[in-house]
Amino acid sequence: VDRPETSDEWHMPAEPIRQERGHPPPKLAIVLPCYNEEEVLPETSRRLLLLLDDLSESGLIEEGSLYFVDDGSEDGTWQFIQSLAASNERVHGIKLSRNYGHQRALLAGLLHAPGDVVISIDADLQDDLTATKSMLSGYASGAEIVYGVRRLRQMDTSVKRVTAEAYYSILRAIGVNLIFNHADYRLLSRPVIEALREYKETNIFLRGLIPQLGFQSALVYYDRQERFAGVSKYPFSKMLALAIEGITSFSDVPLKIITILGLVISLVSFAMATWALWIRIFNPSAVPGWASTVIPLYMLGGIQLLCMGVIGQYLAKIYSETKSRPRFIIEKLI
């Protein structure tokens, strides 16, 4: 398990692993959320089955299995999972009743996969499979959570890289505990998953939730690859929704910011009103300016709408949480 070179570069440096609390080789389940991934699944499953053999042979695991979560795919994803599961007892499928999105599909897999440890990974082979070995050695030496951290991101588009970096920094600035450059490639032990089960919130952002759980943790660094085939299933709209989710689920700083903004603007308006009154009383010949009337009107209108939008986001969240609808519905298990 690698360590960060400079610990202040990272928001949450890995805690030292206590050697005396090691774990024996575990039963491993690998969870893969899949949405329209028929193009990559043959190669992904081939490589993962080889990986399981390799991990068993090298004594890192006792046994291993794969859990494919079909997140309401419209292509042949489920058919593929079914036929693979029919011919291979290490392969399992979880079919969700519709498309619930990456985070919920992942949660469905995590809460249903058995075993002592679960590793979650994207289906598109962007995350380096060899990092699983380091994750398992982290577990062997006592870690309950091992985070996969992207070392290089030049395979991502520059827009994605810049927005991702800005986003992690904003979250960090408003006090959300997050592992820099860690997505959803991680190892969780059984006690951690049981703790995660206790979190009943409908809107889930695992990257923020898991560091909150505590437990002994470690980091593993890997280089992000290009998607093996197919196109990203994360269009800008989904990325934005995930980004808002991350902020509104873990921080009320936006609400504080608009409160302060409102206070400042009120003070400025009060000063301007005093100034206008002053002119009106002591300079009767002055024609009131058009600009000084219209500009604050537009500006205040814009700011008010923005603030209402932010409040609306939180209100919508309270609304969806109070309904406490199921986070996913499993249609079939194989």
Interacting residues with ligand UDP between 34 and 73 (CB under 6 A): 34-35, 37, 71
Taking the complex as a whole, how short is the minimal distance between the CB of residue 183 and Mg ion, in angstroms?
9
Name the DSSP letter for residue 8: G
Taking the complex as a whole, how short is the minimal distance between the CB of residue 35 and Mg ion, in angstroms?
11
Give me the sheet containing 330-333, strands edge to edge. 217-222, 145-150, 182-189, 117-120, 27-34, 63-70, 91-96, 330-333
Taking the complex as a whole, how short is the minimal distance between the CB of residue 127 and Mg ion, in angstroms?
8
Q: Which stretch binds ligand UDP (CB under 6 A): 95-103, 111-119, 135-143, 253-261?
A: 95-103
Of 232, 249, 251, 313, the one binding ligand UDP by CB under 6 A: 232
Cβ nearer to ligand UDP, comparing 157 with 292: 157
**CB–CB of 176/253 below 8 Å?**
no
Cβ nearer to Mg ion, comparing 40 with 118: 40
Cβ nearer to ligand UDP, comparing 41 with 258: 41
How far apart CA 106 and CA 111 sit, in angstroms, is 9
User: How many amino acids of this chain bind ligand UDP (CB under 6 A)?
Assistant: 16
b/e map of 92-128 (b: 16 or more CB within 10 Å)?
A: bbbbbeebbbbbbbbbbbbbbbebbbbbbbbbbbbbb
Interacting residues with ligand UDP between 103 and 162 (CB under 6 A): 105, 122-124, 126
Cβ nearer to ligand UDP, comparing 99 with 141: 99
Taking the complex as a whole, how short is the minimal distance between the CB of residue 66 and ligand UDP, in angstroms?
13
Taking the complex as a whole, how short is the minimal distance between the CB of residue 320 and ligand UDP, in angstroms?
18
Cβ nearer to Mg ion, comparing 71 with 124: 124
C-alpha neighbours within 13 Å on the C-beta side of residue 48: 29
How far apart CA 297 and CA 134 sit, in angstroms, is 59
- For the chain, the 3-state helix, strand and coil shares in percent, each to the nearest 5, are 50, 15, 35
φ, ψ of residue 267 in degrees (nearest 5): -65, -45
Q: Hey, what long-range contacts does 18-24 have (CB within 8 A, 24 or more apart)? A: 18/142, 18/216, 19/141, 19/142, 20/142, 21/142, 21/216, 22/140, 22/141, 22/142, 23/116, 23/139, 23/140, 23/142, 23/189, 24/62, 24/140
Say which entry of Mg ion, ligand UDP, none residue 112 contacts (CB below 5 to 8 A, set by partner kind). Answer: none
Say which entry of ligand UDP, Mg ion, none residue 138 contacts (CB below 5 to 8 A, set by partner kind). Answer: none
Cβ nearer to Mg ion, comparing 70 with 124: 124
Taking the complex as a whole, how short is the minimal distance between the CB of residue 334 and ligand UDP, in angstroms?
17
- Footprint on this chain of Mg ion (rule: CB under 5 A): 122, 124, 126
Say which entry of Mg ion, ligand UDP, none residue 113 contacts (CB below 5 to 8 A, set by partner kind). Answer: none
Interface contacts to ligand UDP, rule CB under 6 A: 33-35, 37, 71, 99, 101-102, 105, 122-124, 126, 232-234
